[in-house]
Structure 1
Amino acid sequence: MDRLDTVVGELDALVDAGRLTGFVCGVRQDGRTLIAAGGSRSPDGSALDPDTVFPLSSNTKPVGGVLALRMVELGILALDDPVATLLPELSAPRVLTRPGGPIDRTVPAGRQITLRHLLTMTAGVGWAGEGSPLTVAMGERQIAPGPYPPPMEPDEYLRLLGSLPLADQPGVGWYYHTSSDVLGVLLARATGATVADLVADHITGPLGLADVGFTADRERLPTSYGLGPDGGLRALDTVDRFAHPPRFESLACGLTSTVSDYLEFLDVLVGGGVVLGPQYVEAMTTDRLTPRQRADAEGFIAPGCGYGMQVEVRPDGAVGWAGGLGTIGYVDRRTGRGAAVFTTQSYDVPGTAEALDTVWALLR
């Protein structure tokens, strides 16, 4: 408890200094969870409480990894089977002759995209660099990586994505985010169920997580803030976005959760529990990056760290991820201790990164 008190003091100091609007943080170990909250729902609003439901942004990705590996465990999918059987939009992709090059200079893909490629972010789809022709083209089609789900139906998303070339040959480079959205479409088509039903049936239901989902009660959602053009806080429309069912149930960025429920989910990454067999947890939390892919991932993963299947893998035994709307959650697989810090402001706001870095003190 002393460790949590110390971190709460640091976060409260950021609130008092005007660098942080609000936060909820917590630790969990051996089935016991401790939660604390500070700051407010808005600069002049009511206090945040421990049961606040936050938009997770990219903290959704580990949930997608667990769900996909559960489908492998059940024999519905196989890691190295081509996804084109279920995703014909990606059956004959073209590939840029040079990552970051013109999108009209392409060659045929040398291999098929597999589920393993999607899970490890090596499918050749994703963040292709600021200002690159492929990134611009994805933005024009509203399918570029970002903190919110694509504003369209899944079939339309795959059609638009399939109309563009891959940034790289499958299995060669590491490209962030988009693979997770493709993953959700794959799982839905493989099972005939919605992504929301799959999450409920295989993760949140078995774990008893009542507050993880694709929608949330707007009264429990805080106002989230980004950086405005004048350098001040700019209110984001996250409450309206997550108070209504989305057109696209995204495993890249679409879920909401309380800190308490997310900490319980992180327990799965230690031993699997009732959700996933230990061998699949081991597969998910093992570093998969080649030297080339590790270079591609620079800026997304910390120096000296790796990436498994939808999670960062740290050399100290911690695995997890962070979200661009100001959330982070990791668990130490050696000790079973999990920690999470959720804030009400995005990464680009001064003070957010400093707040999220306190998660490492909670894990020790």
Structure 2
Amino acid sequence: MTELQHILETYVEKGTVPGAVGLVARGERVEVAAAGSRDIAATTPMTRESIVRIASISKPVTAAAVMTLVDDGRIALDDAIGTWLPELASPMVVRTPSAPVYDVVPAARPITVGDLLTSRAGYGFPSEFSLPAVTPLFSELHQAPPRPQLVPAPDEWLARLSRIPLLHQPGEAWLYNTCSDLQGILVSRVSGRTLPEFLAERLFEPLGMADTGFAVPADRLDRFTSLYQPRPEGGLQLVDAPDGQWSSPPAFPSGAGGLVSTVDDVYAFARMLLAEGTVGGRRLLSPESVRQMTTDWLTPAQRAASTLFLEGQGWGFGGSVDVEAIDPWNVPGRYGWVGGTGTAAYIVPSTGAVTILLSQVEMTSPTPPDLMRDFWRYGADA
């Protein structure tokens, strides 16, 4: 048994997860291990072909879609989003983050494409989830956790968002999640295609990501995992079965957390980024767009205010960027993100390293669980 296999088996045996798949690559050397099963009944083994809800690993994919439009010359980072999202052309901002939603002032400037990509548009989750301008993101927009069949279609979703004030002025603060959903709507409106159509044409088909999408076709449900959450008293309880929320296309394809995928599909996307946007001789992204995606855009003050999610990391486009070696697995320049369904995917452009972990138990907080940390520790040493 390899050390990677042992790590995964250990957490399966503890009952932390029913199953998990891990991939660690450096250059052309690739190690993949799978342990456990796709559900707690333990009737079907977890394999590298298992399909998993990747949650917020969707964010880098959506950001890459935006950057294809930048490369096409259809949009620019400094463009105001109101051209395509007129609902947000003249946003209001709460006077202070703790102010009630009716105590507002006009935004000092328009929200830009770059604000969305860096998650600094003024919408999203801070450390204090109970702030008056934050709670409607849960109650009206179903921002978390991902339940795709409950979310209204993009036009209605955006109309609801337009009635919620910004928590901060555009560009002032990093806030989590909402900007990635806005990126998905932006892609659709600029391209004139649905987000699933655009992603399939510009990223998934060229990369051979045949199992990645916003729903699982009926003929692949036998490879789809069940989703669980920890019970307060111990053990796991079912959140979503293979024939549940992801068995049919949602009205709102969430660019923030709606995708399902496999470890090899996620690896194909990672390899494209490491190859500076090229796959099989075909360029999907420019090297400059990849560089911008994987560069930290936050100020030290913005990083310091976002420790609940970032733990001192910076933020690129759609994913975090390690700015210093805080832990053994933090490598300056490491880019990627975690998903609230128990997933994580990172690349290190300077070394060509890739680490991908897919499991099927929801995280109970933004702090990565022990399984992820042990997996990253192994990946840093491999």
TM over 0.5: yes
Determine if the alignment matches structure 1 residue 26 to structure 2 residue 31: no
List gaps (5 residues or longer) in structure 2: 324-330
Q: 1:180 deviation in Å?
A: 0.5
Partner Cα separation in structure 2 for residue 147 and residue 360 of structure 1? 28
Partner of 1:300: 309
Shift of 1:32: 5.3
Deviation of 1:231 after TM superposition, in Å, equals: 3.7
Inter-partner Cα distance in structure 2 for 1:85 and 1:294: 30
Shift in Å, 1:291: 2.5
Query: Equivalent residues in 2 for 1:73-222 (5 A)?
Result: 73-128=71-126, 129-149=128-148, 151-216=151-216, 217-222=220-225
Q: Structure 1 residues 262, 361: CA separation in 2 closer, same or farther (over 3 Å shift)?
A: same
Q: C-alpha displacement at 1:120, in angstroms?
A: 0.3
The CA distance in 2 between the partners of 1:54 and 1:145, in whole Å, is: 17
Deviation at 1:359, TM superposition (A): 2.8
Aligned counterparts of 1:227 and 1:106: Cα–Cα separation in 2: 39
2:20·2:46 contact (CA, 8 Å) conserved in 1?
A: yes
Q: Is the 8 A contact 1:143 1:161 kept in 2?
A: no
- Structure 1 residue 30: Cα displacement: 3.6
Q: What's the secondary structure of 1:133's corresponding residue?
A: coil
User: SS at 2:65's partner residue?
Assistant: helix
Q: Contact (CA 8 Å) 2:21, 2:33: kept in 1 or not?
A: yes
| Partner SS, residue 185 of structure 2 | helix
Matched, 1:284 2:293: yes
Secondary structure of the residue aligned to 2:245 is helix
Q: Given the alignment of the two structures, is residue 319 of structure 1 paired with residue 335 of structure 2, yes or no?
A: yes
Conserved 8 A contact 2:81-2:112: yes
| TM-score with structure 1 setting the length | 0.94
Establish whether residue 242 from structure 1 lines up as the match of residue 246 from structure 2.
yes
**What is the CA–CA distance in structure 2 between the aligned matches of 1:100 and 1:221, rounded to whole Å?**
42
* Contact kept in structure 2, 1:214 and 1:242, CA below 8 Å: yes
Offset, 1:263: 1.1
Give the deviation of 1:286 after TM superposition. Answer: 0.7
Change (3 A) 1:138 1:352: closer
d(CA) in 2 for partners of 1:115, 1:352: 29
What is the percent sequence identity of the aligned residues?
34
Q: Is the 8 A contact 2:4 2:33 kept in 1?
A: no
The Cα offsets for residues 240-299 of structure 1, whole Å up to 9 and x where unpaired, read as 111110111111001111011101111222221132111111111111001231123212
Distance 1:250 1:144, change over 3 A: closer
Further displaced range: 108-117 or 123-132: 123-132
Using the TM superposition, give the Cα deviation of residue 221 of structure 1 relative to its aligned residue in structure 2, in angstroms.
0.9
Alpha-carbon deviations, 1:40-90, whole Å to 9, x = none?
Answer: 112222221210010011010000111111110001111110000111110
Out of 217, 229, 237, the position equivalent to 1:226 is: 229
CA contact (8 A) 2:53 2:360 kept: no
Q: 2:277 aligns with which of 243, 265, 272?
A: 272
Contact 1:58–1:252 at 8 Å: present in 2 too? yes
Q: Secondary structure at the match of 1:300?
A: helix
Cα distance, 1:363 vs structure 2 = 4.1
Q: Distance in 2 between matches of 1:30 and 1:213?
A: 27
> How far apart, in 2, do the equivalents of 1:113 and 1:145 lie?
23
How far did 1:238 drift? Answer: 5.3
Does the 8 A contact of 1:120 with 1:309 survive in 2? Answer: yes
Q: CA deviation at 1:227?
A: 2.0
Q: Secondary structure at the match of 2:369?
A: helix
